[in-house]
Amino acid sequence: MASLFCLLALSSLATAKIVSNVTFPSSIAADILLGQPLDGFVTLTAHNIVGNASNPNKFSNNLLNNLGYLTGTKPYIRVGGNTQDYAIYNANLTIALNGTVNATRSPDYPTTVEIGPSYFESYSTWPNVKFTHGFNMGGNHDSRQWATLLQTAAIACKALGKEKLNWWEYGNEPDLFATSSHGPVRPSNYNESDYVSEWLAATRAIKGVLAETCPDMLSNETYGYLAPSFAGVSNYLKAARVWADGLDVDGTVRYFSTHNYISGATSPGVTLQGTLMNHTRTRSSVDAHVSEFAEIAAAAPGLVQIMGETNSLYNQGKPGLSNSFGAALWGIDFNLYCASVGIGRVHMHMGTNYRYASWQPITTDLTVVGTKAPYYGNIAVAAFLGNLRIEPVRIAHLDLARAEGNGTETDVGVRDSAYAAYVDNALARIIVINMRAYNYTLNGTGDLDARNPAPRKVRTYNFGVAGFEDGREAVVRRLYANGSDAITGITWDGISYNYELALGKPVRLRNVTAGERVTVKDGAVELAVPDSQAVVLDFDAV
């Protein structure tokens, strides 16, 4: 079992060094669940992203296949989000979905939504993909809400079958039902016991429908829920009280699901460096969820916490930030920090035209079809985790700190992070995420005619791997772009997944360096990492 320590120094004139002595943690999170990194598609746009029986979205499927190739399992898909609680079933609707946008409620998606029978064709389109289907709890003040629940339970179970079902979900972010900026759907005195009573009544009704329609989907292996799917840890409904009030009295909650957004698209002071490419902020945000879950976990041994919905900035992201390479680096850090603290799965939320989406599935009047920067972060996470079917992996967070008496850097461990992947308690891979922003364009404007004249700094990372003999090699794989403000021209290990090249299938580029290796010398490996880049060292690949 390799122990390791980390040294960081500037490769320019500075002589600062950052050192951290790390051994295999005495306490480390459990193996990562299959199907990570994951994507959650909003109800509104699932039919765009997935396609239907006659016209499957091959581009989307290719991108999922890429992730499945790396992790051994294609991502598990949650179909939900805000529009989950707007969706009303109309058996006579001849199209998959009919939506009406009310810009005063949301300019990004319709808040009046009807779905028809063909909507559920999406579930039969992709091979080897499991889905979580979200039922309408909010109701949107529509008297058809309960009928919709019973009708869609019968249709969804037939469309999915036990082979394609992951779990069910009833309600999206009910802790905002009485306070939502899109319009409250519950009275101001709505409380935890009200929610639990409502949730239990509906999930029991769903079970009754399944008993009649899909009785083979009622075993402990095929019937259960993600819950409570709260929007955060500081809203007026509290997860611990919900649990104490008997949310899982029927024993049907399979994963404790919570949602997280670091900040909002229109929140004051949001920046790429200060908000997203900020490891301290990511840790603080995730740790709040870990603390919340600790109280529940004490009463529910074996229950696993997941991020049922997350992405960079709520309200579908901010242009220039959420669709940038810097957001891809943030996504790597966020996913791996979650893994290191025991959060078993992360659903990265996306939808058609969303600024933070990993890809745009179709061309619309707002956005052209294509692979977006955050997808490359998904790929890097998948590659770092490795094939989870063959080798279950555990992730450890590596603390970085400036060595005493060396230099004056104050951003170590704030604008960079590192993680180790262990297989059978042995070091397999290390990842370094240098999140110091480097703008390829002047002031990050995105104007390609105004290039940034400042040189891109390079940091030298030295990892001590005391358990490896000198001469041991590691393969180096880099996530590369021209800068943190880049939205195109991104590669992983010299590979592009662009729509224009091969509909999202991997294409190796000849003009990008790949095949790099480093060698253990004096008990350490050393590599240079430019600002705004992530690098994986893979000891198992040689």
Choice among 114, 192, 292, 409 that is catalytic: 192
Choice among 309, 404, 409, 469 that is catalytic: 309
Residues 6+ apart with CB under 8 A from 217: 157, 161, 162, 165, 210, 223
Identify whether 309 is a catalytic site residue.
yes
Q: In this structure, what are the phi and psi dihedrals at residue 460, rounded to the nearest 5 degrees? A: -105, 120
The C-alpha R_g of the chain, in whole angstroms, comes to: 23
Q: Are 168 and 123 in contact (CB under 8 A)?
A: no
Please report the DSSP string for 459-481 in residue order.
Answer: EEEEEEETTS-TT-EEEEEEEE-
- E strands along 268-415, which residues? 304-314, 346-350, 359-360, 370-371, 393-398
The order of strands in the sheet holding 97-100 is 87-89, 112-115, 97-100
| 279: DSSP letter | H
Task: Tell me the C-alpha distance between 321 and 270, whole Å.
Answer: 9
Task: Tell me the C-alpha distance between 501 and 496, whole Å.
Answer: 8
Task: Tell me the C-alpha distance between 418 and 20, whole Å.
Answer: 11
Identify which of 325, 336, 334, 384 has the alpha carbon closest to the alpha carbon of residue 358. Answer: 325
Q: Are 265 and 314 in contact (CB under 8 A)?
A: yes
Identify whether 473 is a catalytic site residue.
no
Identify which of 532, 105, 165, 75 has the alpha carbon closest to the alpha carbon of residue 349. Answer: 75
| 45: DSSP letter | G
Q: Are 313 and 265 in contact (CB under 8 A)?
A: yes
Tokens of 10: 């500037």
Query: Active-site residues: which are they?
Result: 192, 309
